[in-house]
Each structure stands twice: as C-alpha cells, then as structure tokens.
C-alpha cells in the first residue's frame, strides 16, 4: 500500500459483514435499527447502514446533526440531553426541514424546551431519557419526576415522542448470560416507563433502547420500536472482550510503520503512538489487556501475542503481551515493515483522523472524509 502512516483503514468487507449481521438480527426481532453515527462520523459509512435497511440516525452532537442533514439524512435523533443555549441551533435545523428529535431527563430541561417552543412558535419533538442500569443519565422509570417531565412537555405544547435508554453498563460484562439479562432489563424498564406515561394520559409512541452488546444479546424486544447501536459498524477490542465479536471482525485499524528497535527489551518501535491510537485504555480492566491495541500483519491478520504495550505521542512500542523480551521481533519486523493495529475503542481512535482509507477486498482504496468537533 502506498499510504503515508499512520492512517486509519476501514476493511470494507468486515464493515459490510458487521452491518448485515446487526440489521438482520434486529429485523428478525421486528424493530427498526437507528444507527448511532458518532462512531464513524462519516457519510459513506452511514449510507452503507441506510442501504442495508437502517431507518434514521442517532447523533451525539449538533455538529453531527448538521453534517448528516446536509448530506440528506433528515430523520435525526439527538441522543444527548439538550441544554438551553443549544436550542436556537436545534431550531435552525428544524426550520431547514430536519426532523430533529430532542432529549431531556429533567423538569428544568423540559421547561426550557417548552419556553423556547412558545417563544419561537415551534412544536419540538422530545424524548425522555430513562436510566435503566445506573450507568449515566436518565430518570428512573418508577420516579414521579418521569410523569412530571411528560406533563410539562405536553402542557407546554411539545410532542412527547417517547422514551429512550442506553444500557452502557453492558460494556462491563463478558458472558452471554449476563448480556442477555441486561438486555432484558433495558427493554423491560424502558417499556415500563412508556406504560407509566401512557397511563398518565401522555402519548408515548416510541420506545428506543440500545447499546451494541445488548442489541446483539436481545432475545425478544416486545414493546420496543427501535434500537440504537453504533460501534457495531466497526467493532473493537473492548467489544471483543465483551464477547459480541472477535478481533477478526474489527473493521477499523491503524496502518503503521516500524521506525526502530530496542532488541534487548524485545521492542519494535512504530509510528503509531497515542495520537494515532488515542489514549483509550478500555481493555485494561477486561479479561485481555491489549495495551493500546492488538498487532496485525499488513493484511489485517492478528499476530498472536503482540500488542502495542506502551505509547508516547508519536511512538508506539510493539511487544509481547506476556512481557517476554522477544529478540526475534527485530528480524521479523525490520525498519520500514508495515503493520496494522486494532483499536481498543473504535470511536476514540477514529476521532484522531480527518479521514479514513476504505480498503476493498481487491485492495483498492478510497478516501472517506470524517468530520470532527461539536
């Protein structure tokens, strides 16, 4: 490959396989897939997901909403609780024709949305975030505040589009049984929240759940209308440790080149440091610690036992995962040899690059821009 390193590569064959697998699974369960595009932040990737059957997109920033809307994606769920000073920006998108759904998880945020709606004479579509696992944001499904939020929105002229949850604690699990149990908990608690709102006279047509592990582990999705998942499009080493993919499924890698050696330490020095891989050490507390990434040959085949064990800004240290000083690595990987590194967290590694190089099964490449910022 005549590519300057380090570079972010997408294996198109693997990516397409990941997309088809998730789409087929959720279609069989009778729900829509609304992919979370924060993982790729790339129009070409989102179009591949849409072509496979995805409906709408999920975003984590208004920058994503703006960029994807400009590219023709009009059904957008902004899955981060809105703050008052971003409402004008959201309003501008809606008035351009974007079907933008907002998210709140407090009475204060709901009040800000309806106040802006009255001022601008705009009916906002809003979902209420539910906490289904204590992982992050959201209101408890049995909390009185849930009904209060719904009442504020409804009385204030907003449309209560539904409820949303994200079982992010699934990243801490690593057995099928635990993942299935959490998937059912996520489903049941979000459906329970929707039922409470409906019993209080508040329309709640949508029930949106999702994380990549629980989406894959779900056995049934009764009462759910859509699932959101993001990292499945590339997968990564954290997901491999969770047990929902293998390293051979990971579609994103960093192409790197050998720039030096420390033979007595069994080190191979490459030009992919933490600026290329990110500082994410998500596998550190999992069953296999991959350091800053797992090492593959230039074709993307995992080299057993080798990881990027340490990283400086522009230097990566390739060594044996067991700590053994292997002097043979110097001969195996001379200066100028090329390797690929699989990331711990695809979202974080992708964020280091302005574009991807998509590699076809035939070895051809295409540049796919990736946008950054908020």
What is the pLDDT, as a whole number, of residue 194? Answer: 98
Q: With residue 88 as reference, give the H or E element that holds it.
A: helix 87-95
Residue 61 pLDDT level (bands cut at 50, 70, 90): very high
Question: pLDDT tens across 204-234, in order?
Answer: 999 999 999 999 999 999 999 999 999 999 9
CA distance 64 to 37: 8
**Residue indicated by tokens 């099928």:** 176
Edge-first strand order for the sheet with 32-33 is: 32-33, 226-227, 206-209, 159-165, 125-130, 99-104, 75-78, 57-59
The maximal CA–CA distance of the chain, rounded, in angstroms, is 72
C-alpha–C-alpha distance, residues 87 and 83, integer Å: 7
- More confident position, 2 or 156: 156
CA 237-65-350 angle, to 5 degrees, is: 25
Sequence-ordered strand ranges (E) for 132-205: 159-165
* Residue of 200, 205, 353 whose CA lies nearest to 276: 353
Distances (CA, A) of 160 to 82, 146, 248, 346, 363: 15, 12, 42, 33, 48
Span 13-45, pLDDT tens digits? 999 999 999 999 999 999 999 999 999 999 999
Instruction: Kindly list the structural domains of the chain, giving each domain's residue range(s) and its CATH number in brackets, ordered by start.
Output: 13-233 (3.20.20.10), 247-369 (2.40.37.20)
Residue pointed to by tokens 């149990």: 181
Cα(237)–Cα(147) distance, rounded to whole angstroms? 40
329, pLDDT greater than 90: yes
**Beta-strand pair 226-227/206-209:** parallel
Question: What H or E segment, with its residue span, contains residue 355?
Answer: strand 355-359
Q: In this structure, are strands 99-104 and 75-78 parallel, antiparallel, or unpaired?
A: parallel
Rounded distance between C-alpha atoms, residue 288 and residue 32, angstroms? 33
The pLDDT tens digits for 186-210 are 999 999 999 999 999 999 999 999 9
- Over residues 239-264, mean pLDDT: 98
What is the percentage of the chain residues whose pLDDT exceeds 70?
100
Contact 328, 248 (CB under 8 A): no
* Alpha carbon distance 77, 103 (integer Å): 8
Averaged confidence pLDDT in the chain: 97
- Does 1 score more than 90 pLDDT? no
Helix 176-199 vs helix 144-155: crossing angle, to nearest 10? 50
pLDDT value of residue 2: 83
Q: How many CA atoms within 13 Å lie on the side-chain side of 303?
A: 21
């Amino acid at each position: 490959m005549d590519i300057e390193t380090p570079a972010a590569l997408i294996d198109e064959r693997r990516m397409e396989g990941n997309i088809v697998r998730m789409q087929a699974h959720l279609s069989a369960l009778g729900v829509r897939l609304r992919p979370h595009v924060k993982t790729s932040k790339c129009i070409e990737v989102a179009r591949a997901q849409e072509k496979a059957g995805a409906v709408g997109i999920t975003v984590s920033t208004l920058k994503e909403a703006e960029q994807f809307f400009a590219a023709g994606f009009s059904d957008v769920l902004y899955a981060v609780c809105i703050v008052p000073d971003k409402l004008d920006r959201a309003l501008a998108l809606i008035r351009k024709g974007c079907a933008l759904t907002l998210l709140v998880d407090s009475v204060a945020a709901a009040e800000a949305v309806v106040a802006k709606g009255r001022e601008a004479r705009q009916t906002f579509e809003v979902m209420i975030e539910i906490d289904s696992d204590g992982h992050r944001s959201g209101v408890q499904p049995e909390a009185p505040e849930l009904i209060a939020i719904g009442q504020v929105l409804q009385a204030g002229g907003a449309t209560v589009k539904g409820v949303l949850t994200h079982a992010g604690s699934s990243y801490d699990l690593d057995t099928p049984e635990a993942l299935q149990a959490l998937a059912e908990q996520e489903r049941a608690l979000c459906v329970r929240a929707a039922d409470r709102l409906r019993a209080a006279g508040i329309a709640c047509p949508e029930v949106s759940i999702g994380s990549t592990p629980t989406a894959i582990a779900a056995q049934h999705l009764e009462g759910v209308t859509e699932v959101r998942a993001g990292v499945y499009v590339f997968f990564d080493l954290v997901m491999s440790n969770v047990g929902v993919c293998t390293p051979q499924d990971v579609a994103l890698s960093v192409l790197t080149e050998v720039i030096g050696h420390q033979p007595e330490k069994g080190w191979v020095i490459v030009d992919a440091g933490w600026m290329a891989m990110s500082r994410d050490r998500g596998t550190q507390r999992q069953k296999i610690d991959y350091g800053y990434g797992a090492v593959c040959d230039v074709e993307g085949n995992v080299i057993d036992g080798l990881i990027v064990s340490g990283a400086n800004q522009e230097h990566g240290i390739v060594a044996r995962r067991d700590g053994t000083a292997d002097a043979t690595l110097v001969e195996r990987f001379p200066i100028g040899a090329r390797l690929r590194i699989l990331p711990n967290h695809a979202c974080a590694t992708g964020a280091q690059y302005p574009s991807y190089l998509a590699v076809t099964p035939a070895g051809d490449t295409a540049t796919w821009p990736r946008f950054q910022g908020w």
